[in-house]
Structure 1
Amino acid sequence: MVRGPVVAELAIETSGLVKTFGSKRAVDGVDLAVPAGGVYGFLGPNGAGKTTTIRMLATLLRPDGGWARVLGHDVVREADAVRARVGLTGQYASLDEDLTGVENLVLLGRLLGFSRGRARSRAGDLLAAFGLADAAGRQVKTYSGVCGDGSTSRRASW
């Protein structure tokens, strides 16, 4: 029996992906074809557009050009379907220590599908509830780990 080549379903596919911030072109025509079922690294020097590309793939930023699909779903037209199928975490297991408290919470809110405004509003509510409103603009790595009331942990829900 003769078999044709095995074609793996693509987990990520992009063509000509572009993102600009003002006059700065952060991502310039990225083409990817990443088969499902593997582990891939996304490497490059600082400023190469890695984080911006990942944020577009996770539907946190809208591409300015080209297109992208994640698990067969268009990241613009089917953003909810993409979010329902992927998870994203920063370089560390939970919070990204280089981001501020509010930046981390807004990121999580956006991943859950909140609008930017709603995510910022809820982040403010959560920071206040945890006694961290005064620390909202500080990097998480500067936090002591103790809540405003002296306890070491609390739970909150989005």
Structure 2
Amino acid sequence: MAAPVEILSRLLWLRDAAALPDAALAGQLGIEPQALAALVKAHPGRFPEALVFHLTAAERQAIPEAPVLAFTEAGAALLTGLLPGSEDRLLTLLPAFAEARHVLTDQAELSARVAAMEQKLDLVLKALQGEEVEGAPPERPIGFLADDLPKGLKAKQRTTKKG
């Protein structure tokens, strides 16, 4: 059975999706990557581009192993029934893939939250050090300022209370 950690180490974040390169998936299933690519090519209607996608030249340059295809979790599940004898391996791979995908997305979410907190902390530190902070309201003195009141307002308030 494939361990989630083993899948996680091979998982890529491509086009806003967790994807497993063709070589890693083929290795888990015990077949050659070329056989996997031929299977996808033979059944184009079964494998939509959103679930099994061909990597662009720029994406291949950014990845050390340079895979040709990348399979999302659902794309890997679409292989069920097409690989005789590999169903058991595929069915043990899918839960590990799902767990690894959850870890990867949780990590990305946590990273975004930490970045947002760092920005807020930076603003607080600047404010504490007396630096100007963009978007901060202008400073106003604390307390009551009689100069801001229209003339005679205090006298009118006193007569209203007495009367």
Which TM-score band applies after superposition, normalised by the shorter structure? under 0.3
Larger radius of gyration: 2
Query: Could you state the TM-score of these two structures normalised by the residue count of structure 1?
Result: 0.25
Structure with the higher fraction of residues in strand conformation: 1
Structure with the higher fraction of residues in helix conformation: 2
Query: Could you state the TM-score of these two structures normalised by the residue count of structure 2?
Result: 0.24
